[in-house]
Structure 1
Amino acid sequence: MHQLPSRIAAVMAGSILVFVLTIGVSILWMTRALDDQARDHSLHQIRSARANLLSQTRLITLDYAKWEAALPYVQAADLDWIFENIGSSATTGEAIQLAVVWGGPFPGDIGWADDGLVEPRSGLVDQATLDLAERRIAEIAIDSYDGVEFFGWQDGALFVLAVARVEEGTGEGGSAPALDEAARLLLGTRLTDDSLSRLGQDYLLSGLRVLHEMPATQSSLPLLGADGTPVAYLAWDMPRPGTAMLQRMLPPLLFIVLLTSGLTALGMTLVRRNAQHLVVAEYHASVAARTDAMTGLPNRAAFNEALAQPARAGERAVLFLDVNGFKRINDSIGHAAGDQVITDVARRLERLAGPGCILARIAGDEFVFVVTGPAAQPRTERLAQAVDVELGPPFSVLGHQMRLSMAMGYAVQDADGMTGDALVRQADLAMYEAKRHKGRGLVAFSTVIEQASRDASLIEQGLRRALERPGELSLAYQPIVGRDGRLVRAEALARWTSAELGPVPAPRFIAVAEQAGLIVELGRRLFQLVCDDLAAHPGLQVSINISPLQLMAPDFIPSVVGSLQRRGIDPGRIEVELTEAVLVDDPRLAAERLEELHAAGFSTALDDFGTGYSSIGYLKQMGFGSLKIDRSFVAEVERSASAVSVVNGMIMMAHGLGLCVVCEGIENQEELDLLRRLGCDLAQGYHLGRPMHLPRLIEHWLPDGIHEAAVEVAVA
């Protein structure tokens, strides 16, 4: 090493001092900033938690209070009906633990609680709280979909309470008189240690608890009562990550600073500094080449390096993950939303990686875990369960709340000489099998999957050719009849007879079309076939079952409207059918698309009702005109009294909402007679007619031609 001149030594000594001071000040500033950021974040989280508590109880209360079917029973003070449909929810204590009605036809307050008693009682809520709630609710306009929510103590327990006027809530509003004849409904949810614990887990808050008084030294947030004053306080443990980090980092930092200062004081030559710069630059370049720019995770190159290491049988596994519906997110909300989804998913998955487990992003929405070491298979299965739990809470993406799931497949090394590429290929096939069978969960690789993959590849190739040439795709129609036995409409089912493969079952090629990204093009082709029938038969009314990908595509509605306009077909002749799944994935976007459909002149129907998740709120808000009850319910009505009650309840609910009811899958006269007695409007099934070509449908059912018939096209 060269001896540095005294001037250079003085400059270096000053530089070291400035460097040490800068590091110290930066660390202190970073510590304070991290603590402040954690404090602000926890405050934001606790506010969100408080708002969520109030919002959940408010929405439950409004759902009951503005229920049109409940209004006549409440006005008639029918306590048996009120208990069966409202009070029983409080006695079971699952969603609410307190329900009270008063005002209007009730001379006093009547209520139920989850204390084991089913008889209605008065005095479950103190009069002062009811009076305060009465004054608050009086400020809300009559005939509006609104209520009030607040916190309150009852029998030593803190409740989230919400009150609404029992009336038909159209949302139009009106001036509220000083007194009115509507009853009031109060629902309450008790805050328990378990519910606070779950809330803390959901919002990543530690030590969440309720206090009667504001703590002097701890963080807290007031819980306001009906009069707007605090009745309790939510307190939690303030996180201090910066301070904790400083305590862990201080000893090694001091050591590093002293070591660096000593080495520099002895004199670092320019050559050594240049060499160090080259090493640092090379290191950063190496890291950048192995890191995914969007997520910061290892990329495909780093993943391939990890797989290049040899492993013994049973001591290495690959878990392959793919985000379900990612293309639809990109197409419907935009690529910026897709990038945020990928980043958020990566952050959640990254928490699960640890010793013997590497996470990498290898493609757009594809992630892989490499699990190494003994017992790789059970560890991989536990890891997949942890992925499901981690992805459980909804994602907030550009103002859209959405729940995401991942198709997961895995493969375990079954021989010492097995290459990493072969292992990844097997895990990839297992993942695609999971994606093809939605709801199946984690799929392990097997030779059956490999054969199914080959078959799916042949079907995909054949389907691509079928979409490029006419004649292979066609429609078969199944009648739907009214109560008088006359044809009202028919459901058109997709059929494909491949020149190479012969007839291919519709469920098989439609599943492949969805997996291969061909479902939109397939739906477009079938829509053109329907348009041919519409143009040829001016009296024809058509109902089209569209896929979620079609609905969410931004150009779907303009495309179909433009196609109809070019051929002179009125959109009012078309009814669009949707399954329940599309409403749950992103209700806000689904509502926007449905509003566009209605504005364009289409009517809409909800298909396969009961197989998914549709609340009364969905049926009321989305503006459906008809509802189809799935075959799985119809098939049980002859054998099960409970099934009869369920179907009867569905029909009564649909009629109460002004919907036309269609029962699918009727296979004998007994089923048909029973369903008609229950009030079914339209019927469909093999007993009434199997799928047939349109000319035969016209010849058999409408020998004089089609006048008022409607045809439904199913692409699923």
Structure 2
Amino acid sequence: MLKARSSSFSAQIVLTILVSTCAMTIMVSFLGYAAVRKVDADAAERELRFANAKITEEFARLREEQRVCTIWDEALIEARAGNTDWMERNIGVWMQTYYGHDAIYVVGPDGLLRYAALDEKTVSLSPGQRLPEDLEPLARRLRSEMATASAGLDDSTEAVSELGILEAVRLDGRPVLVAVSPVVATTDRLPQKPGTELLHLSVQNLDATMAGRISRPGDLAQASFDPTPPTGSHAIGHPVKDAAGNTLTWLKWTPNRPGLRMVHEMLPAIGLSVLFGLGLLGWLLRRLWIASQQLHRSEAEARYLANHDPLAGLPNRMHFEETLVGALDLERRGGPSVTLLSIDLDRFKAINDTLGHAAGDELIRQVAVRLRKQVRSSDTVARLGGDEFGVILLGMSGEETISSFCGGLVHMLSKPYTLAAGQAHVGASVGVAIASRIGGDMEAVLRCADAALYRAKRDGRARFRLFTPEMDDVLRRRGEIETALRLALESEDQLEVAFQPIFNGDGEIVAAEALARWPGGPEGATTPDAFIGVAEECGLIHALGSWVLERACRGAVEAGLPKVAVNVSPMQLRSESFAAEVMRVLGKTGLPPQRLELELTEHFHLDPGVNTRRNLHDLRATGIKIALDDFATGQSLLQYVRDYEIDVIKIDRSFVSRLGYGDGTDEVVRAMLDLGRAMGLEVTAEGVETQRQHDILIGMGCRVFQGYLLGTPVAAGRLAALARGANQRSA
């Protein structure tokens, strides 16, 4: 009986051990299986990312190697001349032997081949020989893009130099990578008439050579290009697609499976003994711990990216605001004082428009480096978005100390920046909010810093301003104007357009200037200087400008005006669609282009971007006149007249008001009139308010006048009667 109980107890123990061992084995096997799958999947994902990056790199390499040889004065000269020997040595066989390109073609504007190189030999061309049929669509598409970009230009070089096509296609049934670029000069000595450009095509086979070049740095085993997709677990691949998204071929390779190799290594050890199996279990748990650590590191990297700006390498707005909340809370509990700086770069958009977005990104990175060097380790500097930065200064007390720091910061940020695309000159405006003087939460401190920044920009930029309560009122008023202006543009019955007549020497009305009026603004009648500036800052200037232009053109048609002048913001001119919008309004209202004059003002900076120049060129081509308002009051003087092909200059009222005082103003005005006559420009004198001023201008030879002496701004309904009355009196 006792023996039976003992056997039963032993069986229970054995069974318990067996069950426990089985349960542990199942659990370990399950964990091991999951770990193996995860490790192998991660390895495969890394290899896929690597393959994608290397394929993209190969695409970019072909394009860059081609541009080295096609943007070159000598290449254009020799290719035009049909110098086969030179092309072989420089843009043909040489590119095959040096860069490894598989085929080179140079195509004339007539579609015929000027040069071809295959298998590192120059091909003897037959008369009328063209590109291979598979490459013809790429050449035609690029020529279409070049024709669009250079429409209306005498020299297409600048318009087409950055154009090009880079695509994977099938050539004679084989997948290849093709780069197509125009052959252009690097200087202005070799202008090209649109439609006469030569095209250069480089072809790279997607073959074993490229597969080896792609796979070698990442150890992609047995990599090759294959038209069939990978199947099963023995191969993985990355598709290479054409422009339409169709898969041309696959880069396939045998995946590295570290998890599976690990299992194969463990199997013999598991079969040796249970003790060794337990040790192996510990090793596996250690491996799992390592994998867990890697996961934690990945999570830490994800948290870093969530709180930092990847371009500048600085904390982002979310991290910045969290830090500011903590600093303000610590200050309230007796910690160090908090000072907030809101920083905005001046003329950053002009850098993007003129040098390109890559230059803008490089500028942001350089600004971030300068800011990090300027602040202390206890301070926080962040990129809040676009060209806006923020700085939290801890323990910097005293207005004099803060002012000295901010002055040095503005000076440091205003020094020239050396970029790959050229040297850039930008300034920085800084708004300063001392938290202890405000006494509010994070939102209040941020709002006050923004209000000080707004004041710094209004005062001329490239400076700093410390917050005062009056600034908050200004910012709040600006917000009220912005909100009310949005509603006014939606309702279309709160804004008005008045017309100030412009007279010739005989007293006839020859034109009228359209002036925006807002009698029902937030504080009653709001001046254009107030609401137009807000419209430019908040992006409403395009809608407002279009509204004023349409009302002005319609009023000119109804009144039978010979010409109507409408003011244009530089921001409107930077829009790609501005010229098209003007022509749309003219078509809608029926006003001929010859009766429209667009006024630019010398007080504002007209950036020399492509859009501005193209808009002015397209508008003048239709017969629209371009006038320069407030002439000689800005810093440019004759620069705009030369660069923007001005038709009319308007003498500013500040000069007219000083006529006859003997302070040299008369000589300046006479010089402006002489300049206008010498350059074939129409000259209008603004602000004529006295008969004496009018008589002096008449004596100087001025023939067009605008001012309260002759006529004040009137509503569109009175304009026709006023014009008839003036013309009858002159008759």
TM-score by length of 2: 0.54
Structure 2 counterpart of 1:290, which letter? N
Structure 2 counterpart of 1:543, which letter? A
Cα distance in 2 for partners of 1:269, 1:352 equals 45
What displacement does 1:525 show? 0.7
Quick check: 1:317–1:377 contact (8 Å CA) kept in 2? no
Structure 2 counterpart of 1:623, which letter? E
SS in 2 for 1:690: coil
What displacement does 1:495 show? 0.9
Q: Which residue of 2 aligns with 1:222?
A: none
Q: Residue by residue, what CA displacement relative to the aligned partner does 1:97-133 show, whole Å, maximum 9, x if unpaired?
A: xxxxxxxxxxxxxxxxxxxxxxxxxxxxxxxxxxxxx
Quick check: 1:315–1:376 contact (8 Å CA) kept in 2? no
Quick check: 1:473–1:495 contact (8 Å CA) kept in 2? yes
Tell me if 1:306 matches 2:292.
no
Q: Which residue of 1 aligns with 2:718?
A: 696
Instruction: Report the CA distance shift for 1:482/1:534 in structure 2 as closer, same or farther (over 3 A).
Output: closer
Structure 2 counterpart of 1:673, which letter? D
Cα distance in 2 for partners of 1:648, 1:398 equals 46
Which of the numbers 480, 495, 499 marks the counterpart of 1:473?
A: 495
Tell me if 1:665 matches 2:673.
no
Tell me if 1:526 matches 2:548.
yes
Q: Which residue of 1 aligns with 2:313?
A: 296
SS in 2 for 1:492: strand
Tell me if 1:686 matches 2:708.
yes
Q: Which residue of 2 aligns with 1:178?
A: none
1:222-237 pair list within 5 angstroms:
none
Q: Which residue of 1 aligns with 2:507?
A: 485
Tell me if 1:287 matches 2:309.
no
Structure 1 counterpart of 2:315, which letter? P
Which of the numbers 568, 576, 579 marks the counterpart of 2:601?
A: 579
| Structure 1 gaps, min length 5 | 1-170, 174-267, 709-716
Q: Residue by residue, what CA displacement relative to the aligned partner does 1:275-314 show, whole Å, maximum 9, x if unpaired?
A: 7546644543343232101211111233123311223699
Cα distance in 2 for partners of 1:376, 1:517 equals 38
Quick check: 2:514–2:567 contact (8 Å CA) kept in 1? no
Quick check: 1:583–1:590 contact (8 Å CA) kept in 2? no
SS in 2 for 1:509: helix
Cα distance in 1 for partners of 2:452, 2:350 equals 22
Q: Which residue of 2 aligns with 1:504?
A: 526
Cα distance in 1 for partners of 2:301, 2:641 equals 56
Which of the numbers 310, 318, 334 marks the counterpart of 2:340?
A: 318
Q: Which residue of 1 aligns with 2:475?
A: 453
Cα distance in 2 for partners of 1:457, 1:583 equals 25
Q: Residue by residue, what CA displacement relative to the aligned partner does 1:409-453 show, whole Å, maximum 9, x if unpaired?
A: 211123596544422221012223334554584232222122222
Structure 2 counterpart of 1:472, which letter? Q
SS in 2 for 1:641: coil
Instruction: Report the CA distance shift for 1:382/1:681 in structure 2 as closer, same or farther (over 3 A).
Output: farther
SS in 1 for 2:321: helix
Tell me if 1:374 matches 2:396.
yes
Which of the numbers 669, 682, 702 marks the counterpart of 1:647?
A: 669
Which of the numbers 555, 559, 565 marks the counterpart of 1:543?
A: 565
What displacement does 1:548 show? 0.9
Instruction: Report the CA distance shift for 1:700/1:282 in structure 2 as closer, same or farther (over 3 A).
Output: closer
Structure 2 counterpart of 1:686, which letter? Y
Instruction: Report the CA distance shift for 1:458/1:332 in structure 2 as closer, same or farther (over 3 A).
Output: farther
1:197-346 pair list within 5 angstroms:
277=294, 280-307=297-324, 308-309=326-327, 310-311=330-331, 315-324=337-346, 339=361, 342-346=364-368
Quick check: 1:473–1:496 contact (8 Å CA) kept in 2? yes
SS in 2 for 1:367: strand
Cα distance in 1 for partners of 2:386, 2:626 equals 34
Cα distance in 2 for partners of 1:707, 1:576 equals 29
Tell me if 1:604 matches 2:621.
no
Q: How large is the Cα RMSD of the aligned pairs?
A: 3.8
Q: Which moved further from structure 2: 544-553 or 590-599? A: 590-599
Cα distance in 2 for partners of 1:646, 1:518 equals 38
Tell me if 1:595 matches 2:612.
no
Which of the numbers 409, 426, 444 marks the counterpart of 1:404?
A: 426
Instruction: Report the CA distance shift for 1:500/1:306 in structure 2 as closer, same or farther (over 3 A).
Output: closer
Instruction: Report the CA distance shift for 1:391/1:286 in structure 2 as closer, same or farther (over 3 A).
Output: same
Instruction: Report the CA distance shift for 1:369/1:586 in structure 2 as closer, same or farther (over 3 A).
Output: farther
Instruction: Report the CA distance shift for 1:553/1:305 in structure 2 as closer, same or farther (over 3 A).
Output: same
| Structure 2 gaps, min length 5 | 1-188, 192-284
Task: Tell me which structure has the larger Cα radius of gyration.
Answer: 2
Q: Residue by residue, what CA displacement relative to the aligned partner does 1:659-704 show, whole Å, maximum 9, x if unpaired?
A: 2222222222222223333333322222222222233343334238
Cα distance in 2 for partners of 1:417, 1:494 equals 41
Tell me if 1:632 matches 2:649.
no
Q: Residue by residue, what CA displacement relative to the aligned partner does 1:626-653 show, whole Å, maximum 9, x if unpaired?
A: 1112222333334352333333333333
The structure with higher relative contact order (CA 8 Å, sep 6+) is 1
Instruction: Report the CA distance shift for 1:591/1:383 in structure 2 as closer, same or farther (over 3 A).
Output: farther
1:106-255 pair list within 5 angstroms:
none
Q: Residue by residue, what CA displacement relative to the aligned partner does 1:25-53 show, whole Å, maximum 9, x if unpaired?
A: xxxxxxxxxxxxxxxxxxxxxxxxxxxxx
1:72-91 pair list within 5 angstroms:
none
What displacement does 1:655 show? 2.6
Q: Which residue of 2 aligns with 1:142?
A: none
SS in 1 for 2:308: coil
